[in-house]
Amino acid sequence: MMKWKQQIYGMKAYQPGKPIEEVKKEFGLDEVVKLASNENPYGFSPKVKAFLEKDSTNHAIYPDGYAQSLRTAVAKHLGVKETELLFGNGSDDLIAIVTRALLYPGVNTVMADPSFSQYSHNAVIEGAEVRKVPTKDGKHDLQAMLEAIDENTSIVWVCNPNNPTGTIVSDDELQNFLKQVPSEVLVVLDEAYFEYINAPEFKDTLHYVSEYPNVIIMRTFSKAYGLASFRVGYAYAQEDVIAKLDPVRGPFNNTVLSQKVAIVALEDQEFIQECRDKNEIGKNQFVEFCNKHGLNYYPSQTNFILFEVKADSDVVFQEMMKRGFIIRSGNALGTPGYIRVTFGTEEQNSKFLSLLEEVLTEQGVFA
Ligand SMILES: Cc1ncc(COP(=O)(O)O)c(C=O)c1O
């Protein structure tokens, strides 16, 4: 008998959205659109495309583990010191690094429920206690999260905006929260969808890092920058925090090519702005649909929306898949009766919504 950690028994690997090729084969479809993983429907910047076409990277050589060039570019972009940054193989890697550095049996970690699954997943692997605090109207209940913190709490996760609900914590709420979190508890502000936020009550959070030694902000190139396959995320915190986390990082956790590509992508802020504008159009299409049909939805500050279907989410998921759209069933996200859909292009959204209308009529939801 091998000596597996007890908590590994019964754990499942991360369940990603179904791959397009698999769905094509299963249902004999020529075209399948994946609106399940909050990727950018417009791909990445044309500047990245041009770069990749002429790139001649030598892939036989190990990457720069310190990601110096990318570090310089991100530090400049944010207006922070290079030593205040940590790069990860996606922010998934950053979540694992932070967890590995701070969690072990006997300590606990506090997070919202539902929220991004990797916080609890990694915590369970490390044998820490997971304290899930129910969201209120899809929003973090920061007061209840404060109450869940005790002397054994090591990390509090604030997914802002929250996946899967898409809601934000306002600046006032965050300020009030940070003032009360004990200074020995690390507060992770996971801002994977930062670029899509347009609510005035959200204000840039970078200054909290200089004010609070226990705050770390995570962002990613996987969403608005459209580089999910390259796996680049970064964290910003005070130098001492980064210095503690850095030894926990894998030695070459970003590839040579991904580092180069992220630099090119960062330079094209016009592309990000265009994606942001188009995202708003998509959001409005879904909000109009929900309003027209009286379906509850959470106000989204991201590139996806979680809304009610008044039917079995798994059935809706399955019926939409047969029709060429992969989405997320709320059953898999802890929100039964709801589905989470990433905004596609305007045309994809229109097609999706008319097919959804058909499915929900078939299901007897609409007369
Ligand atoms: C809230 C949140 N954090 C982190 C991630 C991980 O992103 P990546 O590892 O691609 O940077 C995701 C991806 O869906 C997410 O939704």
How much distance in Å is there from the Cα of 92 to the middle of ligand 1? Answer: 6
Which residue is listed with tokens 């990613």? Answer: 220
Looking at the fold, whether 177 and 196 belong to one and the same domain comes out as yes
Is the C-beta atom of 160 inside 6 A of ligand 1?
no
Cross-strand partners of 216 = 188
pLDDT in tens, 70-96: 999 999 999 999 999 999 999 999 999
Report the pLDDT value the prediction gives residue 110, as an integer from 0 to 100: 98
Looking at the fold, whether 69 and 141 belong to one and the same domain comes out as yes
Report the pLDDT value the prediction gives residue 218, as an integer from 0 to 100: 98
Report the pLDDT value the prediction gives residue 19, as an integer from 0 to 100: 86
Q: What residues have CB less than 8 Å from 269, skipping those under 6 apart?
A: none
Which of 267, 290, 305 is the endpoint of a domain? 267
Looking at the fold, whether 209 and 89 belong to one and the same domain comes out as yes
Looking at the fold, whether 151 and 221 belong to one and the same domain comes out as yes
Q: What residues have CB less than 8 Å from 315, skipping those under 6 apart?
A: 363
Secondary element (H or E) of residue 142: helix 142-148
Looking at the fold, whether 312 and 188 belong to one and the same domain comes out as no
Looking at the fold, whether 263 and 274 belong to one and the same domain comes out as no
Looking at the fold, whether 232 and 289 belong to one and the same domain comes out as no
Looking at the fold, whether 221 and 317 belong to one and the same domain comes out as no
Looking at the fold, whether 209 and 121 belong to one and the same domain comes out as yes
Rounded to whole angstroms, how far apart are CA atoms 283 and 77?
28
How much distance in Å is there from the Cα of 342 to the middle of ligand 1? Answer: 14
Is the C-beta atom of 258 inside 6 A of ligand 1?
no
Is the C-beta atom of 91 inside 6 A of ligand 1?
yes
Tokens at residue 90, please?
Answer: 């996606």
Rounded to whole angstroms, how far apart are CA atoms 35 and 270?
24
Looking at the fold, whether 322 and 345 belong to one and the same domain comes out as yes
Spatial contact of 214 and 186, defined as CB atoms under 8 Å apart: yes
Report the pLDDT value the prediction gives residue 69, as an integer from 0 to 100: 98
- In CATH, what number is assigned to the domain containing residue 171? 3.40.640.10
pLDDT in tens, 246-271: 999 999 999 999 999 999 999 999 99
Looking at the fold, whether 220 and 334 belong to one and the same domain comes out as no
Note whether residue 24 is domain-resident.
Answer: yes
Please check the confidence at residue 235 and state whether its pLDDT lies above 90.
yes
- In CATH, what number is assigned to the domain containing residue 305? 3.90.1150.10
Please check the confidence at residue 15 and state whether its pLDDT lies above 80.
no
Is the C-beta atom of 39 inside 6 A of ligand 1?
no
What domain range includes position 346? 6-44+270-363
Looking at the fold, whether 94 and 153 belong to one and the same domain comes out as yes
Which of 267, 299, 331 is the endpoint of a domain? 267
Is the C-beta atom of 192 inside 6 A of ligand 1?
yes
Note whether residue 49 is domain-resident.
Answer: no
Note whether residue 356 is domain-resident.
Answer: yes
Give the count of domains, the chain: 2
Q: Give the pLDDT mean for 314-337.
A: 95
Q: For the chain, how long is the longest CA-to-CA vector?
A: 62
What are the φ and ψ backbone dihedral angles of 6, each rounded to 5 degrees? -55, -40
Which of 267, 296, 311 is the endpoint of a domain? 267
Q: Is 59 helix (H, G, I), strand (E, B) or coil?
A: coil
